[in-house]
Amino acid sequence: MGVLLVNLGTPDTPTPADVKQFLKQFLSDPRVVDLNPLIWKPILNGIILNTRPKAVAKLYQSIWWQDGSPLMVISERQREALSLLLAKIHGREIPVELGMSYGNPSLQAGLDKLIHQGVDKVVVLPLYPQYSCSTVAPVFDAIAEIYKQRRDYPETRFSKAYYQHPTYIKALAESVRRHWDEHGQAQCLLMSYHGVPVRYVTEGDPYQQQCQETSRLLAKELGLNDSQWRLCFQSKFGKEEWLTPATDAMLEVLPEEGIRSVDIMCPAFAVDCLETLEEISIGGKESFIEAGGESYRFIPCLNDDAAHIQLLAEIVAEQAGAWLQPK
C-alpha cells in the first residue's frame, strides 16, 4: 500500500507568469468558484488574470524561501517524515508521495509514482482538517476523473476530515503551549480559518460547524474560558457574502475592546503558506498595530512537527485498517 498526501498547491516560482498559470487552474475549478461559467469565465480571463498575478506574485516574493515555496518545502518534509515514521511503526516501507490539487506535482503525478512502485492500495489523505466542498471535494473529484481514464486503478480509501481527531487537537494545543512557554500568553487567542461563501454552508457544506467544533475542543484542551479566545474567518474573495466574523475586521476592533495583545493561529492550514505567512503573520499584524494593538504574535501551522506527523500516521492506519496487517 501507499499514501498520497494532498494539499492545495503553489506556483512553481513567484513570478507573474507562474502565478497566473496557478490562479487560472485554481479559479477555473467549479468546486472553488461555482458561478455560471458564462458569467465567470469572461471575468476570470478578461479581468482577474490580467490584473491579479502581478500583485499576488509580489506577495509570494515576500514569503518565498531560498529553497522554494514554503508550502512545497514543508510538504516535502512532511512526506519524508511520514514515510520514516510509518516504516518505524509497521516494520516495512510504505511509499508516501505528494499530489497537489493545482500546480505541481499534480495528483496524477503523485498517483503514478505510487503505482510505479507497485502500490495497488492507496490511502488518499487531503491535508484539510475541516471538510469543505471547495477543498476536500475537488480532491475526490480529481481522483475519480483520473481513474475514469484507466482500465484499472488501485483500491483506494479517502480521508474526508479530521477536525475533531484527539491527536489533532492535542497537537494544536502542544503548539500553543510551546508558544506561550517562549513568549508568554496574550489576552486573547484568535483561531483564524479560511473562509467560504455563506451560501456554501446554507447549501449543506459542514465546514463552519467543523471549524466551530475544532475551536471548542482546542479551547477546552487549553483550559480557556470564553473571553480568552475567538474564532474568525480570513481570505475573503469576491463580493458574495462570506462567513463572519472576518479576521481583518476583528483585528481592527479588538483594541477598542481593550484587547491589546493577541496570539493568532490558523487551524485549518496543515502547512504554512501565503495565507498564513503573508496575510496573517504580516498583514494581520499591521492591521492590529495600526488599530492600537500592542502585541501580535503568529503561531505557526503544525507543518512537520513530530506531533503532526504522528497524527498523519494515525489517520493512515485508521484508513488502511487490515491493509497494514503483516502478510
285: domain CATH number?
A: 3.40.50.1400
Domain that holds residue 287: 166-298
Domain-embedded: residue 8: no
**Burial class for 91, CB neighbours closer than 10 Å (0-12, 13-18, 19+):** exposed
What are the phi and psi torsion angles at 6 (to 5°)? -120, 135
- SS3 percent helix, strand, coil of the chain, rounded to 5, is 55, 15, 30
Q: Which helix (H) or strand (E) holds 192?
A: strand 188-194
Cα–Cα distances (Å) from 188 to 130, 143, 224, 227, in that order, read 23, 41, 9, 7
Cα–Cα distances (Å) from 311 to 52, 144, 286, 327, in that order, read 36, 26, 33, 25
CA distance 259 to 227: 10
Domain-embedded: residue 26: no
Q: Give the pLDDT confidence score for residue 327 in this predicted structure.
A: 65
Domain-embedded: residue 93: no
Q: Give the pLDDT confidence score for residue 219 in this predicted structure.
A: 98
Number of domains present in the structure of the chain: 1
Domain-embedded: residue 152: no
Least Cα distance to 126 among 192, 67, 78 occurs for 78
Cα–Cα distances (Å) from 278 to 15, 106, 235, 284, 314, in that order, read 16, 25, 11, 8, 31
Q: Give the pLDDT confidence score for residue 239 in this predicted structure.
A: 86
CA distance 197 to 248: 16
Q: Give the pLDDT confidence score for residue 325 in this predicted structure.
A: 84
Q: What is the DSSP letter of 299?
A: P
Q: Which helix (H) or strand (E) holds 97?
A: strand 96-100
Least Cα distance to 143 among 118, 115, 116, 106 occurs for 106
Q: Give the pLDDT confidence score for residue 5 in this predicted structure.
A: 98
pTM equals 0.95
Q: Collapsing DSSP states into helix, strand and coil, what is residue 310?
A: helix
Whether the ω angle into residue 138 lies within 30 degrees of 0, i.e. cis, is no
The ranges of the chain with pLDDT < 50 are none
Domain-embedded: residue 139: no
Whether the ω angle into residue 105 lies within 30 degrees of 0, i.e. cis, is yes
CA distance 133 to 207: 8
Cα–Cα distances (Å) from 19 to 107, 112, 206, 301, in that order, read 19, 25, 30, 23
Domain-embedded: residue 303: no
**Burial class for 326, CB neighbours closer than 10 Å (0-12, 13-18, 19+):** exposed
Domain-embedded: residue 282: yes
- What is the Cα gyration radius of the chain? 20
Return the residue matching grid coordinates 501551522.
301
Q: Give the pLDDT confidence score for residue 237 in this predicted structure.
A: 87
Q: Give the pLDDT confidence score for residue 326 in this predicted structure.
A: 74
Domain-embedded: residue 234: yes
